Amino acid sequence: MSRKKLLKISGLILLLALAIVINILSNDKDWIEQHYSTNIFPKIAQLFRTLFGWSPVSIGDLLYLAAGIYFAVKFGKFIYKLFKRQINLREFLRALGKLAIIFLIIYVWFNLAWGLNYNRRGVASQLRLDVQKYSLDELKSLDSVLLQRVNSSAASLGGLDIHQLKSKEIFYRAKEAYVHLDGALPIIQYKRGSMKPAIWGKIGNYFGFLGYYNPFTGESQINTTIPKYTWPFVACHEIAHQVGYAKENEANFVGYLAARKSSDTLLHYSAYMDMFLYANSELYMKDSVAAIANFKAMSPRAKKDLKEYFDFRKNTRNPVEPLINIFYHYFLKMNSQPNGLDTYNEVTGWLIAYRKKFGVEAL
């Protein structure tokens, strides 16, 4: 056996062994929480943000582009040869083997670099929240409080024109918000930021994303073509992914806590608007009259921003987005989020549990 072939077999065995170990560890939530999420991962994340955070351009987006071109070319050549009947069984199996190795590399890197956080105990365990099914009255009460917070924070903004703020300043504000989380979640460490405007902003509108985290480079990207009032909370949400909260309900809740605990009124407004929309959409399913009344009770500034957001969603609606949503729905389900896309909305139940434990003044 040649040295090259021996190295390939050894590499494949190593990848398979790592994949098996990852699969075993993912079933031990306590080990993940105590060792990976709060000890190993923060060091990996800090290293990634140090290596790639200096660039104003998303290196992860460029890597995705390079990978996309590479696979498109390879796939095109493969289909061409297959069509011309230039591929025998041996070459076909070899191509499948290469694909399997690439898949294993991505699987191992994804999980070791970030993905194991899907299996941690998480923020509900850290704060000892008792998240249960909630009643209609509890939902109405939460929605009323969030509506008040939206209107009061909108008034506190005064004459601030959000559209005049640059992305760098908004990202900095979101980063600073995590400094104030020390009292609520002391294990969070976010000393070096890595927030970037997404290169694929306009293209991303067809896929329905507001922001995303790149687990291969530790960068968070914000779609800067979306309405600007959403940027602060989207940034807080993505930073939550960066510090190890992989599930979308957790990222929503931790992002909200970071914004709420900060002294930045802009972050307050953006976060309360997002939380209100989640709660009010839940209320609409159970009591549409009450939900519509809450919309009507919003301040003029909030109504204007909300109209901008709804117009944006209407103008970017397309036949591709539903297909992407189906794919992402099942991706979330495969990563310990059985409710798929509905996981985002679960933050409503978390807010109710948080209020029960810490009081309405904590919201």
Average pLDDT of the chain is 87
Q: What percent of the chain has pLDDT over 90?
A: 53
Q: How many CB atoms lie within 10 A of CB 140?
A: 17
Greater model confidence, 115 or 89: 115
What confidence category does residue 307 fall into, taking pLDDT thresholds of 50, 70 and 90? very high
**Mean pLDDT of the region 275-286:** 92
pLDDT tens per residue, range 37-91: 989 999 999 999 999 989 999 999 999 999 889 888 888 877 777 776 767 767 7
**Mean pLDDT of the region 217-234:** 93
DSSP string, 171-198: HHHHHHHGGGGTTT-TT----S--EEE-
Give dist(CA 354, CA 363) in Å, integer.
8
pLDDT of residue 51: 93
Domain ranges in the chain?
Answer: 3-119, 125-362
Tell me: pLDDT of 337 over 80. no
Tell me: pLDDT of 184 over 70. no
Dig out the tokens for 318 from the structure.
Answer: 């397309």
pLDDT tens per residue, range 85-96: 767 767 777 777
Tell me: pLDDT of 321 over 90. no
Rounded alpha-carbon distances, angstroms, from residue 32 to 74, 86, 108: 37, 48, 15
Dig out the tokens for 255 from the structure.
Answer: 């992002």
Half-sphere exposure of 90 (CA within 13 A, CB side): 0
pLDDT of residue 187: 64
Tell me: pLDDT of 276 over 80. yes
Q: What percent of the chain has pLDDT over 70?
A: 88
Q: What is the model's pTM?
A: 0.91
pLDDT of residue 183: 59
Tell me: pLDDT of 329 over 80. no
- Beta-carbon contacts of 222 under 8 Å, excluding residues fewer than 6 positions away, are 167, 171, 195, 196, 197, 198, 210, 211, 231, 234, 235, 238
Tell me: pLDDT of 241 over 70. yes
Pairing of strands 211-214, 195-197: unpaired
